[in-house]
C-alpha cells in the first residue's frame, strides 16, 4: 500500500515521510489501525484513494475508503440518507437497498428526517447509519424489517341492529 502511495504521490510522499524513523512509526500506526481489513480490501482502498484524490491520504481517509470497499453492499451515507427520506410509507414494507438504511432511518425518527433540513437531519442519520455499517462490516447480519402481515380472518361488520344493541349496552355500563 505504501509503495502505491509512494509511486502515485512521489513528491508529496517524500516531503511528508522524509525521515525513516517517522515513516516507520507512521507505518506501525497505520498497521494497527488498518489491521481489521483484509489485504485485498487495503489495496482496493488505496487504489480508490489514488483515483479520487490528488493529495496524499490521511489515515482517516484511508479507513473511510477501506470501509467503503468492505461494506458488503452498503450504499454511501448520503445515498442511504436520500433513500431513507424518499421511502414510501409504510417504511417497513418499502424496498431497501440494505436493512442498515431502514434501521438508521428508524433510529433517526422518520418524522425528524422529514421535518428538518438536510444539514441538520443528515448528521443524525449519518451517526446511526455509521453504527449499523460498523456492525455489518464486523460480520453481523441485519434482518430485513418486519412487515406486518394481514390477519388470517377478516371480520364482517356488525349489522345496524347489533351496533345499536352494543351501543345500548355501553351506555348502560357507563350509566349515560
| Predicted local confidence at residue 29, as pLDDT | 95
| Predicted local confidence at residue 70, as pLDDT | 65
| Predicted local confidence at residue 141, as pLDDT | 83
pLDDT tens-digit readout, 130-143: 898 888 877 778 88
129-to-66, 72, 94 alpha-carbon distances in Å: 17, 14, 18
Which residue ranges in the chain fall short of pLDDT 70?
70-72, 147-149
| Predicted local confidence at residue 85, as pLDDT | 94
| Predicted local confidence at residue 148, as pLDDT | 66
| Predicted local confidence at residue 38, as pLDDT | 81
| Predicted local confidence at residue 153, as pLDDT | 78
Amino acid at each position: 500500500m505504501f509503495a502505491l502511495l509512494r509511486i502515485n504521490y512521489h513528491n508529496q510522499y517524500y516531503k511528508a515521510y522524509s525521515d525513516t524513523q517517522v515513516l516507520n512509526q507512521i507505518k506501525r500506526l497505520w498497521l494497527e489501525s488498518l489491521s481489521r481489513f483484509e489485504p485485498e480490501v487495503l489495496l482496493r482502498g488505496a487504489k480508490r484513494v489514488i483515483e479520487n484524490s490528488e493529495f496524499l491520504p490521511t489515515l482517516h481517509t484511508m479507513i473511510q475508503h477501506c470501509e467503503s470497499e468492505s461494506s458488503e453492499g452498503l450504499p454511501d451515507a448520503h445515498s442511504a440518507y436520500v433513500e431513507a427520506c424518499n421511502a414510501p410509507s409504510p417504511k417497513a414494507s418499502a424496498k431497501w437497498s440494505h436493512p442498515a438504511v431502514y434501521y438508521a432511518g428508524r433510529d433517526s425518527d422518520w418524522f425528524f428526517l422529514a421535518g428538518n433540513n438536510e444539514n441538520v437531519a443528515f448528521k443524525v442519520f449519518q451517526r446511526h447509519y455509521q453504527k449499523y455499517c460498523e456492525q455489518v462490516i464486523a460480520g453481523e447480519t441485519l434482518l430485513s424489517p418486519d412487515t406486518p402481515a394481514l390477519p388470517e380472518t377478516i371480520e364482517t361488520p356488525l349489522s345496524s341492529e347489533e351496533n345499536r344493541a352494543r351501543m345500548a349496552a355501553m351506555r348502560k355500563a357507563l350509566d349515560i
